[in-house]
Amino acid sequence: MGKDFIGSGEMGEAARFNAVLKAVSFAGRSVLDVGCACGDLYPFVKAAGCERYTGIDIKEEYLTIARQRFPGVPFKLIPGQHYHGKHDVVVAIEVLWTDDVTIRRYQEFVKNCFECCKEALVTTVQSSVYGGFERSPGFSIAPNTLVEICQQMSNKFEILHHKHWGTNQMAVIWR
């Protein structure tokens, strides 16, 4: 799959993607990428052996770029927050990062994504506990609240946070 960003001290998006790829098996799996934007995650899951990939987003301008970057890959416009169908793995990386998101809206979003997955759901969310990390504007959640939400969904989950990410993001993996 290329360079292992986690161990090399690299920071940012590639490090987060690689951490998720190490925590969930994508080999031979169908993947739904919720909030795929310009398709940045696609090369990572493809290199990890993803069998079928579908990217969805609410913004056509992002999808136009994704389709240009990766011709033939299904990128679909979904105007609402409700998705249908079952996929082995559902990912929602850096979605719902606006100031108007509430805990309730986040819970509904995650629940809807969880209902679409057969094996695993992977999301990222910003921690409201900064700990010296950079925080982007928008929705954030206290780690203890995140744990409560996770427990309501499934008793099989893990929360990842890595110092090399350079942000206060947490990745949540439900199984």
Structure confidence by residue, pLDDT tens digits, 140-174: 888 888 889 889 888 888 887 765 556 677 777 88
Contact assessment for residue 152 and residue 163, using Cβ atoms and an 8 Å cutoff: no
pLDDT mean over 5-18: 54
Specify which residues 123 forms β-bridges with. 92, 172
Residue 163: the pLDDT is: 58
42: pLDDT confidence band, cut at 50, 70 and 90?
very high
Listing DSSP states for 103-148 in one string gives HHHHHHHHHHHHHTEEEEEEEEEEBS--TT-B--SS--B-HHHHHH
The rounded distance, in Å, linking the Cα atoms of 174 and 170 is 13
This prediction's pTM = 0.83
Q: In this structure, what DSSP letter does residue 167 have?
A: B
Hey, what domains does the chain have and what are their CATH numbers? Answer: 5-174 (3.40.50.150)
Pick the residue with more confidence: 24 or 29?
Answer: 29
